[in-house]
Amino acid sequence: MIFFHCYYLPPSFSWHFKTMWIIATILVLSKINSNEGAQFPAMFVFGDSLLDPGNNNNLLTLAKANYFPNGIDFSIGTTGRYCNGGTLVDHLGKLLGLPFVPTFKNPSTNGSNILKGVNYASAGAGILWDTGLIFGDVFTMDEQIQNFKKTIEDLSLMLGNKTTDFLGRSLFFISMGANDYINNYLHPLAWRYKKYPIVAYEQLLIQEYSRQIKDIYDLGARKIFVSGVPPLGCIPNQIGGNNDSSGECIRSSNRMAVSYNNQVSMLAGELNATLAGASFLFWNNYKPVYDIIHNYSLYEVHNKCPSSCVGGCAIFLLKLMLNDLLSLILPEKSNVSGKTSTATLSRPSTFDLYVDFSLQTFFTVRITVILSKSDDDARIIAG
């Protein structure tokens, strides 16, 4: 999604954010490292601009972020990340004791570097082949999977018959779908809106997404984290493009996001039940993001993002989402902003973050399993 820039960060907010992560990192590393064999050996990432580390930098496209002020607070500077600092997966990797996951298109991403995993995410990308074409070149989901196949070939040269085990123990993070709505179906230049009623379009997305996730599974992925989409109707370019000058979120777009997330959640449950050895986690990030947009003052944000801003309000969304990911690993440390909340398990084989930070239930049932148990044990506990 190229609408989520996050480089407008107040100084006090920055201090709080960085301090939180220093403390969290120390706690997480000590917790994980005390559990020998529990750490993921690598992380492989598929997604859009929320996760893109710079794969689009050398493409002929408008969807790139290799310019100031992106990276202004990042230790390695401007890289192509749509953020002032690290992305969700950068921080998640750090919490898991992994270094920065290498960028697929970086020339140095070869040899032993790919043993850390690889990030294939591309700003503007989507599930469908034509999503993102309005910006120019992007790596679609199918193209990201093709890039993953190239990585597997390189891994096989180094690991031989141990490649399957390596991939089976690695974490796969997938976040797709938002661009298929805002920069395809809902875009004024889109043709799919005229061809498909919204229900048929959603079915098309889920059908294609299911195929793609199964392709990743067939290539060796077993521990797969699938993220939902945020409130699409609250994105600035959606609000700003509406004739209504009230500045309120677009309800019809939000309904699309809710319905899509429900379908992806059910898909994750189905795949858990049918794919041998698979452990799927679904993160419904709609509710926490919606909450912070409408209750921004509770999250140390002093001004509501106006509809005219070009993505600059997403830094506090990033903080909230990182809190959610933190609570996956350290639920007892998840109450960073002072709000008390719990998690709801919507289905035996998936989880939805319907309320803010805490995931104690999920942590005890699933994260422990995924980190330290065998695939057979995981399937038994996941039901």
What percentage of residues in the chain have a pLDDT greater than 70?
A: 64
Kindly report which listed range (101-105, 326-330, 348-352) carries the lowest average pLDDT score.
348-352
Q: Determine the pLDDT at residue 10.
A: 34
Residue 376 pLDDT greater than 60, yes or no: no
Give the CA count within 13 Å in the CB-facing half-sphere of 139. Answer: 29
- Whose CA is closest to 213, among 254, 174, 266? 174
Answer for the pair 359, 327: CB distance below 8 angstroms, yes or no: yes
**pLDDT (mean) for 134-162:** 97
**Surface-to-core class of residue 46, CB atoms within 10 Å of its CB (0-12 exposed, 13-18 middle, 19+ buried):** buried
pLDDT tens sequence across 276-299 = 999 888 888 787 777 777 776 665
Q: Which two tokens stand for residue 36?
A: 């020998």
Check if the beta carbon of residue 349 is closer than 8 Å to that of residue 273: yes
Asked whether residue 323 carries a pLDDT value surpassing 80, the answer given is: no
Query: 72-81, 96-105, 137-146, 243-252: lowest mean pLDDT where?
Result: 243-252
**Band of pLDDT at residue 158, cut at 50, 70 and 90:** very high
| DSSP notation for 314-336 | HHHHHHHHHHHHHHHH-GGG--T
Has residue 230 got a pLDDT over 80? Answer: yes
Instruction: Answer whether residue 19 shows pLDDT above 70.
Output: no
Whose tokens are 């997404």? That residue is 209
Which structure tokens are listed for 226? 């699938």
Q: What is the pLDDT of residues 26-47, one digit of tens each?
A: 333 333 333 334 478 999 999 9
**Cβ pair 238, 250 in contact under 8 A:** yes
Grade residue 378 by pLDDT with cuts at 50, 70 and 90.
very low
Q: What is the pLDDT of residue 304?
A: 58
8 Å CB contact between 105 and 119: no
Range 4-31 average pLDDT = 35
Domain boundaries, the chain: 11-382
Give tens-digit pLDDT for 165-175. Answer: 999 999 999 99
Three-state DSSP state, 349: coil
> Which has more pLDDT, 44 or 194?
44
pLDDT value of residue 30: 34
Q: Which helix (H) or strand (E) holds 161?
A: none
Q: What is the mean pLDDT of the chain?
A: 72
Q: Are strands 171-175 and 117-119 parallel, antiparallel or unpaired?
A: unpaired
State the average pLDDT over residues 71-98.
81
Q: Is 174 helix (H, G, I), strand (E, B) or coil?
A: strand
Give 25 or 145, the one with higher predicted confidence: 145
Distance CA 47, CA 36 (A): 30
Say yes or no: domain 11-382 is CATH 3.40.50. yes
Lowest mean pLDDT among 58-62, 193-197, 294-298, 372-376: 372-376
pLDDT for 3 equals 37
- The pLDDT tens digits for 97-115 are 888 899 999 999 999 999 9
- What pLDDT score does 85 carry? 78
Instruction: Evaluate if residue 354 carries a pLDDT over 70.
Output: no
Residue 248 pLDDT class (50, 70, 90 cuts): confident
Percent of the chain predicted with pLDDT > 90: 40
> What confidence tens digit (pLDDT) does each residue in 210-224 have?
999 999 999 999 999
Mean pLDDT of 332-341: 34
Phi, psi of 48 (to 5 degrees): -115, -150
Among residues 56, 64, 226, the alpha carbon closest in space to that of 143 is found at 56
